[in-house]
Structure 1
Amino acid sequence: MSRSRVVVVGAGFAGFQAARALSRTVPDKTEIVVLNPTDYFLYLPLLPQVATGILEPRRVSVSIPDSLPRARLVLGEADRVDTAERRVHFTDPEGGRGELPYDRLVLAVGSVNKLLPVPGVTEHASGFRGLPEALYLRDHITRQIELADDAATAEERAARRTFVVVGAGYTGTEVAAQGKLFTDALTRKRRPEQQGSPRWLLLDIADRVLPELDRRLSTTADRVLRRRGVEVRTGTSVQEATSAGVLLDDGEFIGTRTLVWCVGVRPDPLVSDLGLPVERGRLLVEPHLAVAGHPEVFACGDAAAVPDATRPGQFTPMTAQHASRQGRLAGLNVAATLGHGEQRAYKHHDLGFAVDLGGVQAAANPLGVPLSGPLAGAVTRGYHLAAMPGNRVRVAADWLLDAVLPRQSVQLGLVRSWSVPLDSASPELARIPGGPDKQH
């Protein structure tokens, strides 16, 4: 008998869980192929801790070959899917072209940075979607604090010590909260005459931080940020970005050398190029995650517009919780089409959310119970350890070391600004699978 081949495109939250479910369900005669630009699953929620020196980058990178030994990893970025010929065309890391025929296909390509038509943003802002960007930001922040020591003028010194984050969703809020602690620690090591509190601004056009969350969690996060010294500017947007700073829509100019763009994400353009029905860039799927008219094609995570059984007439939001669970169900439903089990419709109630605000502070509402302070911090870190598919002991060890030792404030010089452009990031960044400004 010929082997059936299941191709999973993307190894973010959805793709990784789909491949894992398939590995545990289908027999060896079914070939599982994972197409992904990198050889690791990236645990996005902890990326701010990489950028601020708490965690080493390998801690949030879970090896695909080690974690999914039954799957064959193909390094590459999907360029086109031919649903008539049942082939995925891709480009490998060295520019070579290839194709993968499939019997079943799971599309979990995730999302890319959402850009707004703001002059200068693509030239002067950095995104926050992958490891290279996190490593670059850590180096950049450290460098600005060091360069500020020898600034020629007080104006330049202030600009280098000013950090602007646009977007007060999960990622932006955590970057600002963790970043303020990081720069405060860096400046405490300077000579007395060079000390001073760095300035952090968090901007969003919404009327509050974390607008997608319960207002009580939003209020908690806002209070922690302001107490820490972060300037929260709601109802505010950037009108223009330059090499010297940003012009706000109220006419104020903020001198800065650091603009971090965290306004959210949009579905990977590959989905729209399929020629199949989409909803705001997401591939329309049936409740069991198959594409109408193409029972051999399944989609999940940020790539899919999945009917929300808990809110009739709406689609599930682009969150890590949904992506993980949709990925697992997609894997099980694909296995069912191969004769192993029965297909089920997707249904999931959010279990709550957690926002790590650095130190012992967090905002969380597990099972709808609002928490703040150290208790929320413990719940948040416990959740991350439970949700990670690997590296738990190493992550916990890094947290312990960070609690008792000062952070190392050296530049690694591994990533240059030109290699992490906001508008057309490298394959690893432009199509990081798994999802958004990940809610967790």
Structure 2
Amino acid sequence: MNTVTRPRILVVGAGFAGVECVRRLERKLSPDEADVTLVTPFAYQLYLPLLPQVASGVLTPQSIAVSLRRSKKYRTRIIPGGAIGVDLKSKVCVIRTITDEIVNEPYDYIVLAPGSITRTFDIPGLTDHAFGMKTLAEAAYIRDHVISQLDLADASQDPVERASRLQFVVVGGGYAGTETAACLQRLTHAAVKRYPRLDPSLIKWHLIDIAPKLMPELGDKLGSSAQEILRRRGIEISLGTSIAKAGPEEVTFTDGRVIPTRTLIWTAGVVASPLIATLGAETVKGRLAVAPEMNLPGDDGVFALGDSAAVPDLAKGDGAMCPPTAQHALRQGRHVADNVIASLRGQVMKPYVHKDLGLVVDLGGTDAVSKPLGIELRGLPAQAVARGYHWSALRTNVAKTRVMTNWLLNAVAGDDFVRTGFQARKAARLKDFEYTDAYLTPEQVRAQVEGSGRPD
């Protein structure tokens, strides 16, 4: 007996792009039109721009992790695991589940939104001794680590050790690095008042970047304003500088300076997920080269978006690519869902066009710089715009309520500087959080698919 199966739509990644795509598909497709499956190791959508506020204790971790299982009305099947390879010819995605089982998942349409990982370089000791700021676990872990440095410095009788524990280095002058340094500096500045044996002047924060300017996308005036705010707080900014090597108790800068520190936070950019390399397709600086409609030319039913796709920015023109921001990812998710539906129904797909709405940078407290619709703002107005934007972008009312409550409570009552005990056992660093060695080569993908056969 012949049976008619529904088209299978597989979405890889539960970031801004992937979740927006899934929700749009659910709203616009009838249940008998297609089966939708989402591959993600964590059943939540992480609101990445607010990670520095989790690290500094302004927000609780669960307030920016929006559950994908909260509503009973969603019909998408969730596979708990990570995609580690894609065979475009066989239309099979190879998945390593959270039970460490490798399975082949067939598809008719695939939407690749695996996001990005922290960009690292071949710097001695970097992955062994640096922390990242890309996952919820890293943000929570860094908060524990920073507070533990104050505790350990307070307990130490060695002035050299005490000084090294109270110096902190952040590498990366983009939004993530700048906000991380700003928010964590406020944390230590407030916390040290509860440690009468510690000299506040020993606490030193360093923000370094190889670029000549801090957050150049903001423009000269706002970038200078941000630098002035940070320097006024005592953060030492070093531009045109990077890391030469990293050790457990010191970091060497490329200008020769050696900084005694137990805390190195690496936020020097991101690169596309290693999943993209398994396709054997054309890439642009590691991102999958796609058409303006976000489909892969020459491969029917393959779409890519977000941080891992080089989506042409038609609003800017001149060959520009969309930057890896939440603003674009949200809109690309909705747009690619419409194009998948159009392809499924035999309709014409539309190119993605979005004019950038501006940038917001939250430096903690009443300090911020924002550029909504090209209007430059500083101080409290900029902070209102920054937090208003983030609050409105949260997907559920529950998340909005939690974040707003956290902001109000922190503003009124401050922080208790409690650490949860992550530091009680083996220390974890950047290499322990992102599992970059989990992916297959294109040859391994082909062997896996051919060896197991394609399941029905």
Task: Identify the TM-score tier after normalising by the shorter chain.
Answer: over 0.9
Distance in 2 (alpha carbons) for counterparts of 1:337 and 1:119? 48
How far has the Cα of 1:216 moved from its partner? 2.0
Of 220, 231, 237, which residue of structure 2 is paired with 1:232?
237
Query: Is residue 51 of structure 1 aligned with residue 40 of structure 2?
Result: no
Q: Which amino acid aligns with 1:49?
A: Q
Over 3 Å counting, the alpha-carbon distance change for 1:356 and 1:335 in structure 2 is same
Match of 2:251 in 1: 246
Over 3 Å counting, the alpha-carbon distance change for 1:224 and 1:340 in structure 2 is farther
How far has the Cα of 1:415 moved from its partner? 6.7
Of 357, 369, 373, which residue of structure 1 is paired with 2:379?
373
How far has the Cα of 1:70 moved from its partner? 2.5
Aligned residue for 1:16, secondary structure, equals: helix
Distance in 2 (alpha carbons) for counterparts of 1:380 and 1:341? 39
Aligned residue for 1:8, secondary structure, equals: strand
Could you tell me whether the CA contact under 8 Å between 2:168 and 2:263 is conserved in 1?
Answer: yes
How far has the Cα of 1:154 moved from its partner? 1.8
Of 16, 37, 40, which residue of structure 1 is paired with 2:41?
37
Does 1 or 2 have the higher relative contact order (CA < 8 Å, sep 6+)? 1
How far has the Cα of 1:342 moved from its partner? 4.6
Q: Which amino acid aligns with 2:307?
A: D
Over 3 Å counting, the alpha-carbon distance change for 1:103 and 1:419 in structure 2 is farther
Distance in 1 (alpha carbons) for counterparts of 2:339 and 2:205? 47
Match of 1:438 in 2: none
Match of 2:301 in 1: 296
How far has the Cα of 1:424 moved from its partner? 5.6
Over 3 Å counting, the alpha-carbon distance change for 1:419 and 1:253 in structure 2 is closer
Distance in 1 (alpha carbons) for counterparts of 2:292 and 2:25? 19
**Normalising to structure 1: TM-score of the pair?**
0.94
Q: Which amino acid aligns with 1:118?
A: I
Identity %: 42
Q: Which amino acid aligns with 1:12?
A: G
Q: Which amino acid aligns with 1:6?
A: I
Most deviating of 348-357 and 22-31: 22-31
Query: Is residue 127 of structure 1 aligned with residue 123 of structure 2?
Result: no
Could you tell me whether the CA contact under 8 Å between 1:326 and 1:346 is conserved in 2?
Answer: yes
Question: Could you list the per-position Cα deviations for residues 66-112 of structure 1 after superposition, in whole angstroms to 9, with x for gaps in the alignment?
Answer: 25712111111111111122111101112112222111100001111
Query: Is residue 318 of structure 1 aligned with residue 318 of structure 2?
Result: no
Over 3 Å counting, the alpha-carbon distance change for 1:392 and 1:138 in structure 2 is same
Over 3 Å counting, the alpha-carbon distance change for 1:295 and 1:265 in structure 2 is same
Match of 2:445 in 1: none
Could you tell me whether the CA contact under 8 Å between 1:333 and 1:344 is conserved in 2?
Answer: yes
Q: Which amino acid aligns with 1:319?
A: T
Match of 1:15 in 2: 18
Over 3 Å counting, the alpha-carbon distance change for 1:80 and 1:152 in structure 2 is same
Q: Which amino acid aligns with 1:120?
A: G
Aligned residue for 1:327, secondary structure, equals: helix
How far has the Cα of 1:194 moved from its partner? 2.2
Match of 2:81 in 1: 76
Q: What is the CA RMSD across the aligned residues, in angstroms?
A: 1.9
Over 3 Å counting, the alpha-carbon distance change for 1:429 and 1:327 in structure 2 is farther
- What does residue range 123-162 of structure 1 map to in structure 2 within 5 Å? 123-162=128-167
How far has the Cα of 1:161 moved from its partner? 0.7
Over 3 Å counting, the alpha-carbon distance change for 1:113 and 1:400 in structure 2 is same
Distance in 1 (alpha carbons) for counterparts of 2:87 and 2:332? 23
Most deviating of 81-90 and 256-265: 81-90
Distance in 1 (alpha carbons) for counterparts of 2:383 and 2:83? 38
Of 153, 162, 169, which residue of structure 2 is paired with 1:164?
169
Distance in 2 (alpha carbons) for counterparts of 1:5 and 1:65? 21
Distance in 2 (alpha carbons) for counterparts of 1:263 and 1:63? 29
Aligned residue for 1:28, secondary structure, equals: coil
Which has more radius of gyration? 2
Question: Could you list the per-position Cα deviations for residues 35-66 of structure 1 after superposition, in whole angstroms to 9, with x for gaps in the alignment?
Answer: 01101000000000111111110001001122
Distance in 2 (alpha carbons) for counterparts of 1:241 and 1:104? 44
Over 3 Å counting, the alpha-carbon distance change for 1:340 and 1:403 in structure 2 is farther
Match of 1:280 in 2: 285
Over 3 Å counting, the alpha-carbon distance change for 1:88 and 1:324 in structure 2 is same
Most deviating of 66-75 and 253-262: 66-75
Of 256, 261, 268, which residue of structure 1 is paired with 2:273?
268
Question: Could you list the per-position Cα deviations for residues 230-283 of structure 1 after superposition, in whole angstroms to 9, with x for gaps in the alignment?
Answer: 111111111111112111122111111100001011111111220111111111
Q: Which amino acid aligns with 1:395?
A: V
How far has the Cα of 1:326 moved from its partner? 1.2
How far has the Cα of 1:308 moved from its partner? 1.5
Match of 2:30 in 1: 27
Match of 1:116 in 2: 121
Aligned residue for 1:292, secondary structure, equals: coil
Could you tell me whether the CA contact under 8 Å between 1:112 and 1:265 is conserved in 2?
Answer: yes
Runs of 5+ unmatched residues, structure 2? 440-456
Of 331, 346, 357, which residue of structure 1 is paired with 2:337?
331
Could you tell me whether the CA contact under 8 Å between 1:65 and 1:71 is conserved in 2?
Answer: no
Matched residue count: 430
Distance in 1 (alpha carbons) for counterparts of 2:266 and 2:69? 32
How far has the Cα of 1:312 moved from its partner? 2.8
Question: Could you list the per-position Cα deviations for residues 106-133 of structure 1 after superposition, in whole angstroms to 9, with x for gaps in the alignment?
Answer: 0001111111121111111111110111
Distance in 2 (alpha carbons) for counterparts of 1:125 and 1:196? 24
How far has the Cα of 1:409 moved from its partner? 1.1
Distance in 2 (alpha carbons) for counterparts of 1:408 and 1:164? 24
Over 3 Å counting, the alpha-carbon distance change for 1:429 and 1:257 in structure 2 is farther
Over 3 Å counting, the alpha-carbon distance change for 1:57 and 1:240 in structure 2 is same
Over 3 Å counting, the alpha-carbon distance change for 1:428 and 1:376 in structure 2 is farther
Q: Which amino acid aligns with 1:170?
A: Y
Query: Is residue 356 of structure 1 aligned with residue 362 of structure 2?
Result: yes
How far has the Cα of 1:418 moved from its partner? 5.5
**Normalising to structure 2: TM-score of the pair?**
0.91
Over 3 Å counting, the alpha-carbon distance change for 1:164 and 1:417 in structure 2 is farther
Q: Which amino acid aligns with 1:39?
A: A
Of 392, 395, 400, which residue of structure 2 is paired with 1:386?
392
Runs of 5+ unmatched residues, structure 1? 432-440
How far has the Cα of 1:150 moved from its partner? 1.9
Over 3 Å counting, the alpha-carbon distance change for 1:27 and 1:341 in structure 2 is farther
